[in-house]
């Protein structure tokens, strides 16, 4: 899967000062198979083979863009690295048996097989790109449905193992960097208001995860009773409101000498540290990212930060440099890589 093309997480897209990425995920199940929690190993293998062939067969126009990966073939570090890059879900790697996934060369499209549902189509884009991601997910959905025939009910919509996904089976989300709204204590109010609008804001890796470096995942909660287009438009509108509120708050905070000092100190530590834990890096790079967006710092781009942030995650580092790295060795290596990447920062 090595190639020269930039991955989605190495780029900065629209509204990238606030929106890190966009994700659209579709949950689908084969009409002639029981849900995954009721399947035998042979049935799981059959579903895996059918989904793989639907994409990689000679009749597929996009076959050459994808690779198939069997989860059993991956080390623990390689599997966790997939989660760190948001390519698969934490739940997907919890049990590798009978699971595999298809992935595009640029890693913006992944198709998980035998997670909670038979098929989880996921499209990722840098920046704010909900319409583009939804359109691509729909194209993959149509292609797969031609040969797989997904379970669908005229009243309930697409049938899913968890009732909360019934209907469109779609979860659209955006990854937001909201340091200013976090700093001024607005996130509790925002979370409450969003829940009234059918949206939910969670930690960096979704449900049950913590907020790391002021990174939040905003997604739709309602999948039944509204169209995919309506869900995407609703999320788009709310996201634009949050972008506006974050930018307004940033403009005010960036004039505060204490905030300026925190940004400068964070840059100084990252440029000079010899030991750097992942948690400390995430907190400090959040401040640096704020500084770049508000032109308090210069010399590197948001793309540089995106690429670096993925590269220095624990499992991704272990997968790249050796699984026998201790936590202390990772901290040394992380500090080295960060110093090199931020050399031009000023």
Flag whether 155 is marked binding.
no
Flag whether 64 is marked binding.
no
Flag whether 147 is marked binding.
no
Phi-psi domain of 185 (left: phi exceeds 0; alpha: psi -120 through 50; beta: other): left
Flag whether 207 is marked binding.
yes
Listed in order, strand segments (DSSP E) in the chain are 19-28, 66-70, 100-104, 109-113, 119-126, 152-153, 157-158, 170-177, 199-202, 215-220
Contact of 263 with 255, CB cutoff 8 Å: no
Give the span between the Cα atoms of 329 and 247, in whole angstroms: 38
Flag whether 38 is marked binding.
no
Flag whether 187 is marked binding.
no
Flag whether 118 is marked binding.
no
Contact of 321 with 311, CB cutoff 8 Å: no
Flag whether 89 is marked binding.
no
CA dihedral of 307, 313, 319, 323, whole degrees rounded to 10: 150
The token pair that represents 195 in the structure block:
């829940």
Flag whether 40 is marked binding.
no
Flag whether 25 is marked binding.
yes
Flag whether 215 is marked binding.
no
Contact of 137 with 23, CB cutoff 8 Å: no
Flag whether 267 is marked binding.
no
Residue among 267, 248, 109, 93 at smallest CA distance from 186: 248
Flag whether 322 is marked binding.
no
Give the span between the Cα atoms of 100 and 92, in whole angstroms: 9
Flag whether 142 is marked binding.
no
Contact of 305 with 335, CB cutoff 8 Å: no
Flag whether 135 is marked binding.
no
Flag whether 28 is marked binding.
no
Give the span between the Cα atoms of 226 and 222, in whole angstroms: 8
Annotated binding site for ATP: 21-25, 86, 120, 171-175, 202-207
Annotated binding site: 21-25, 86, 120, 171-175, 202-207
């Amino acid at each position: 899967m090595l190639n020269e093309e930039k991955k989605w997480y190495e780029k900065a897209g629209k509204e990238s000062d606030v929106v890190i990425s966009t994700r659209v995920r579709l949950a689908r199940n084969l009409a002639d198979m029981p849900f995954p929690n009721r399947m035998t190993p042979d049935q799981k293998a059959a579903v895996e083979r059918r989904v793989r062939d639907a994409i990689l067969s000679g009749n597929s126009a996009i076959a050459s863009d994808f690779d198939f990966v069997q989860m059993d073939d991956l080390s623990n570090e390689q599997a966790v690295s997939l989660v760190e890059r948001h390519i698969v879900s934490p739940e997907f790697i919890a049990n590798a048996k009978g699971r595999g996934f298809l992935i595009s060369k640029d890693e913006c499209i992944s198709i998980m097989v035998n997670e909670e549902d038979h098929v989880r189509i996921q499209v990722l884009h840098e920046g704010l790109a909900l319409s583009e991601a939804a359109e691509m997910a729909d194209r993959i959905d149509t292609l797969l449905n031609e040969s797989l025939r997904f379970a669908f009910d005229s009243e309930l919509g697409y049938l899913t193992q968890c009732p909360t996904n019934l209907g469109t089976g779609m979860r659209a989300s955006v990854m937001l960097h909201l340091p200013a709204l976090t700093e001024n204590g607005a996130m509790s109010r925002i979370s409450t208001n969003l829940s009234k609008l059918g949206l939910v804001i969670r930690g960096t890796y979704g449900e049950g995860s913590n907020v790391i470096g002021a990174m939040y995942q905003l997604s739709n909660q309602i999948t039944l009773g509204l169209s995919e287009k309506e869900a995407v438009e609703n999320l788009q509108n709310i996201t634009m409101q949050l972008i506006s509120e974050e930018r307004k708050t940033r403009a005010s905070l960036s004039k505060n000498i204490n905030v300026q000092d925190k940004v400068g100190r964070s840059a100084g530590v990252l440029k000079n540290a010899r030991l750097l834990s992942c948690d400390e890096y995430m907190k400090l790079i959040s401040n640096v990212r704020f500084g770049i967006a508000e032109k308090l710092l210069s010399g590197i781009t948001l793309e540089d930060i995106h690429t670096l942030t993925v590269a220095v995650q624990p499992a991704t580092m272990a997968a790249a440099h050796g699984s026998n790295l201790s936590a202390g060795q990772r901290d040394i290596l992380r500090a080295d890589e960060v110093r090199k990447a931020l050399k031009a920062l000023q």
